[in-house]
Chains A and B, each alone.
Chain A
Amino acid sequence: MSAVSAREPFQSFLDEHRSAVLAFLRAMVGPDDADDCFQETFMAALRKYDSLDGANPRAWVMTIARNKAIDHHRARARRPLPKAELPEAVAPAPPERNPELWEAVAELPEKQRAAVTLRFAADLRFREVAVAMETTEEAARRNVHEGLRKLRGHFPSEEVRS
């Protein structure tokens, strides 16, 4: 049973991408549910770690994270019951410095929200955003551009500066 490859230990992969994945998920599903999605994202990544071969690791893990976020929203829409608490501790308090911004982000259509968040919260390049969203670079740019345009509408420059 030796599916031996010279790939780096999973822990290194986890350490390298954990912050970006959590930043992305916080913006996609909100801070309260981000931790559950984070756990599911890395469990799925661990299970199919072999298929990372040759892919851009950051874009690869973000594809999984985005799918988990979409699953999460679907499950919520289907079953609006209060979710059973996991035995693990919940994520620490979310950043509340600018709740209006997150509300505005949450109101964006999913593709724009994902694209804007991948680009600016998770710090991916447009090319990586495209891979993570399984779309073209042009479509990724368009989604980021559209998302930002809507956010700017919510935030005239004076308000943003405060």
Chain B
Amino acid sequence: MSPRDEIERLLAAEARAGLDEAASEAASRFAERAAAEGAAEVAYAILDTPVGATSIAATPRGLISVGLPNRSLDDFLTELATRISPRIVEAPGKLDEARRELDEYFHGAREAFDLPLDWRLVPGGFYRKVLRATSHLPYGATLSYGDIAERAGNRRAHRAAGTALGANPIPIVVPCHRIVRSAGSPGNYGGGPELKRWLLTLEGALPAEGNGEDAPVSG
């Protein structure tokens, strides 16, 4: 090897010694600081839950999005980057309270959330009325699509209510899983019908076993 190549190789090797780990730690510190100072407009974290990895994101206004395990992180972040701001960092520290409350919920140790919410991903008007009404439903209670449409001001708009619930950006915390087609036939869910059953079972709204046949999945 010529000395010419050698000095170049040495520069590269020296520069990389212990580099990736140090850069990863420096980047984590940066992300937490950027979120704490508000320079980053969105902070996110990935939460391990009994049903899989769940992404959560918050802005200074509050929790803005929950990505259930069937949703890719890419898709979750792209929506936030496009609709809120590309200034997004992974800063679990900024989401300590939300992570704690969700963890307790998934382990049956919490029935209500005490988190400020950022509603900006929900269109105004009827959609927002539906999700706000849904956010007040108590643990373990269920309503039909017609019932929630009525609470939002228009009983006949049960299909629009279904669409609003299907586009709920903050599932679990805004408990759209509590809106069901009928007892024993919960219906569709953004996170998948199995997850809806799992959540209703956790809350005692469905019996733990032998709850009838699976309903055909539809909107």
Does A23 reach chain B (CB closer than 8 Å)? yes
**Contact flag A9-B15 (CB < 8 Å), given A18-B26, A19-B23, A155-B3:** no
CB contacts under 8 Å to A, within B29-45, are: 29-31, 33-34, 39-40, 44
Among A22, A49, A95, which residue has its beta carbon within 8 angstroms of that of B87? A49
Q: In this assembly, does A161 line the interface, its C-beta being within 8 Å of a C-beta of chain B?
A: yes
At the interface with chain B, which of A58-66, A86-94, A125-133, A134-142? A86-94
B109 contacts chain A at the CB level, 8 A cutoff: no
- B14 partner residues in chain A, CB cutoff 8 A: 95, 97-98, 101-102, 121
The total number of A-B Cβ pairs within 8 Å is 139
CB distance from A70 to the nearest CB of B (A): 19
Contact indicator per residue, chain A 74-108, by CB within 8 Å of chain B (1) or not (0): 00000000000000110111110110011001000
Within 8 A of A (CB), among B1-28: 2-4, 6-8, 10-12, 14-27
Cα-based distance from A151 to B8 in the complex (angstroms):
10
Inter-subunit contact A26/B15 (CB<8 Å): yes
- Residue numbers in B under 8 Å from A117 (CB-CB): 11, 15
Task: Specify which of B7, B26, B84 is in contact with A38 (CB 8 Å cutoff).
Answer: B26
When A18-B23, A39-B33, A46-B34 are in contact, do A7 and B15 touch as well, CB less than 8 Å?
no
- Determine the distance from Cα of A3 to Cα of B39 in the docked complex, in whole angstroms: 15
- Chain A: minimal CB distance from B168 (Å): 21
Q: Which residue from chain A places its CB closest to the CB of B80 in the assembled complex?
A: A9
The answer on a CB contact under 8 Å between A92 and B40 is no
Q: Which of A11, A91, A122 contacts B22 (CB 8 A)?
A: A91
Tell me if A51 is interfacial: C-beta within 8 Å of chain B. Answer: no
**A49 and B44 alpha carbons, distance in the complex (Å):** 18
Closest B residue to A95 by CB, please name it. Answer: B17
A29 at the B interface (CB under 8 A): no
| A43 and B39 contact, CB distance less than 8 A | yes
Q: How far is the CB of A115 from chain B (nearest CB, A)?
A: 12
The yes or no answer to B90 lying at the interface (CB within 8 A) is yes
CB pair B16–A46 under 8 Å, yes or no, is no
* A159 CB, nearest partner CB in chain B, Å: 10
Interface residues of chain A, those whose CB is within 8 Å of chain B, are: 2-12, 14-15, 18-19, 21-23, 26-27, 35, 38-39, 42-43, 46-47, 49, 88-89, 91-95, 97-98, 101-102, 105, 116-117, 120-123, 148, 151-152, 155-157, 160-161
Chain B residues proximal to chain A, CB less than 8 Å: 2-4, 6-8, 10-12, 14-27, 29-31, 33-34, 39-40, 44, 77-78, 80-90
